[in-house]
Amino acid sequence: MQTSDVVVVGAGLLGSAVAYGLARQGVSVTLLDEGDQVFRASRGNFGLVWVQGKGVGKPDYARWSRGSARLWPQLAAALLEDTGVDVCLQQRGGLHLCLTESEFLERQARLQELQDAVGADYPFEMLDLKAARTLLPALGPTVFGASYSPMDGHVNPLKLLGSLHQACRQRGVAIHTRQHVTTVAKQGSGFEVQAGTQRWQAGRVVLAAGLANRTLAPHIGLQVPVAPNRGEVLITERLPPVLSYPNNLIRQTDEGTIQVGDSMEEAGYDDNVSTPVLGNIAARAVRCMPALGELRLVRSWAALRVMTPDGFPVYQESDSLPGAFVITCHSGVTLAAQHALTLAPWLAGGDRPAGINGFGVNRFCSTRPTEGPLDAH
Ligand SMILES: Cc1cc2nc3c(=O)[nH]c(=O)nc-3n(C[C@H](O)[C@H](O)[C@H](O)COP(=O)(O)OP(=O)(O)OC[C@H]3O[C@@H](n4cnc5c(N)ncnc54)[C@H](O)[C@@H]3O)c2cc1C
């Protein structure tokens, strides 16, 4: 039996970020992961650290995302110092492309609503095509315009995941892969986590198992109705630097490839690519930047987003089993800095961070639970 202060189940972007944050605080952590045979959004995403447009109807989410973007340089610097890995964070801003006037006006209204809700620290500009081309000269003549915000950026998401794992190891986190966790149970004053014949004990447990949180959360008395949403992505051959800013559809990676994406599809647990969807993604990208039509495509993939019914995160401690937590979100790249630097201290026993009270699971219940008030942590 191995013991630690905290067991984290799932070594995707969420589990790894909080494990790293916990270890930075001197907490002993065991990180368990099932491995390549299950769905892993953290290996198939678009790499944006994105704020603009997020949080309509939930200003706390807009603030949480904005706060993460602000903390990101600190996370990138800490990972560089601990591991020597540069995750290639670029935060000089990003654009959201609008193909028609009505899209443009809708976008403007959306961002204005968010700015009104969040306050002045939510900068954005609406750019007509001429102004947008000063940032992205490759834009085609049928683009109507774009919103630009200096809050946005991107990273290399695979370097991020790898460096989180490396930093965890360097700070003493015990990482066990190929461990399919089947049981989490109360044991004495803490918890016992079981995978096959292996068992681990800890004072606290954090479920960060992506889509598998749906089946694991009931072990700690919680229901987390996450569901898959498929995203397909295309990658071109490498080019010298040509795109200075990422946008919602197209970005140039630090390695020179152009990443084009991404669909949002209800396809159950099917994570195969489909030619018609990839065709639509390519056609839309070529309409936005005609020169992309000359490039060779070298790779495509699909991955499953981990979506809650309202699209906002879940950060919940169990009412019936205090010390057991479940966490999930669909913007694990953007929120990695909050997870490592703000959420981890709470998971270690500190105060619940301001601004996440609206991210409990009780919002999905049709009736209020009788055992306690909503989000009473
Ligand atoms: C196409 C696409 C584009 C995206 N683009 C962006 C973007 O631009 N910006 C952004 O911020 N986010 C983006 N995302 C979302 C982001 O990738 C996810 O929010 C993030 O990866 C979720 O991480 P996770 O750790 O919760 O889940 P996962 O990556 O799914 O990790 C869960 C982990 O749990 C493990 N596990 C599962 N079951 C068990 C078990 N029983 N026992 C032990 N381990 C288990 C798995 O092995 C896995 O490693 C995108 C996602 C997709 C699919």
Q: At 122, which CATH number? A: 3.30.9.10
Q: Which tens digit of pLDDT belongs to each residue from 119-133?
A: 888 999 999 999 999
Check whether 362 has a pLDDT greater than 70: yes
Q: Using CA atoms, how far apart are residues 3 and 199, in angstroms rounded to an integer?
A: 9
Question: Is 110 domain-assigned?
Answer: yes
**126 plus 103 within the same structural domain:** yes
Of 7, 8, 9, 13, which is best to mutate to test ligand 1, by the most ligand atoms within 8 angstroms of its C-beta? 13
- Under the banding of pLDDT at 50, 70 and 90, the label for residue 374 is very low
Q: Using CA atoms, how far apart are residues 139 and 147, in angstroms rounded to an integer?
A: 13
Confidence (pLDDT) at 372 = 34
CB 232 near ligand 1, within 6 Å: no
**Domain ends where: 258, 283, 307?**
307
DSSP code for 358: G
Residue 242: alpha-carbon gap to chain centroid: 26
Split into its structural domains, the chain has a count of: 2
3 state DSSP class of 307: strand
Compute, in angstroms, the gap from residue 212 CA to the centroid of ligand 1.
Answer: 10
Q: Which tens digit of pLDDT belongs to each residue from 228-276?
A: 999 999 999 999 999 999 999 999 999 999 999 989 999 999 999 999 9
Report which of residues 43 and 367 the model is more confident about. Answer: 43
**171 plus 118 within the same structural domain:** no
Confidence (pLDDT) at 366 = 60
Compute, in angstroms, the gap from residue 164 CA to the centroid of ligand 1.
Answer: 14
Q: Which tens digit of pLDDT belongs to each residue from 265-299?
A: 999 999 999 999 999 999 999 999 999 999 999 99
Question: Is 267 domain-assigned?
Answer: yes
Question: Is 61 domain-assigned?
Answer: no
**183 plus 209 within the same structural domain:** yes
Percent of the chain with pLDDT over 70: 97
**Domain ends where: 307, 332, 355?**
307
Domain encompassing residue 237: 91-148+227-307
Strands 314-317 and 324-328, bridge-based pairing = antiparallel
Of 83, 96, 109, which is closest to residue 48 (Cα–Cα)? 96
Q: Using CA atoms, how far apart are residues 214 and 231, in angstroms rounded to an integer?
A: 20
Q: Which atom of ligand 1 is nearest to the CA of 195?
A: 42
Question: Is 86 domain-assigned?
Answer: no
CB 332 near ligand 1, within 6 Å: yes
Check whether 134 has a pLDDT greater than 90: yes
- Under the banding of pLDDT at 50, 70 and 90, the label for residue 2 is confident
CB 233 near ligand 1, within 6 Å: yes
Of 45, 180, 211, 264, which is best to mutate to test ligand 1, by the most ligand atoms within 8 angstroms of its C-beta? 45
State the chain's mean pLDDT as an integer.
Answer: 94
Residue 102 token pair: 């009505």
Q: How far is CA 340 from CA 147, 188, 231, 269, 320, in A?
A: 29, 28, 25, 29, 26
Q: Using CA atoms, how far apart are residues 366 and 357, in angstroms rounded to an integer?
A: 18
Non-local CB neighbours of 92 within 8 Å, separated by 6+ positions: 150, 153, 244, 245
Q: Which atom of ligand 1 is nearest to the CA of 42?
A: 21
CB 140 near ligand 1, within 6 Å: no
Q: Which tens digit of pLDDT belongs to each residue from 23-63?
A: 999 999 999 999 877 778 999 999 999 999 999 999 999 99
* CATH number (domain holding residue 190): 3.50.50.60
Question: Is 58 domain-assigned?
Answer: no
The whole-number average pLDDT for the span 138-154 is: 97
CA-proximal residue: ligand 1, atom 1 (nearest): 231
**282 plus 298 within the same structural domain:** yes
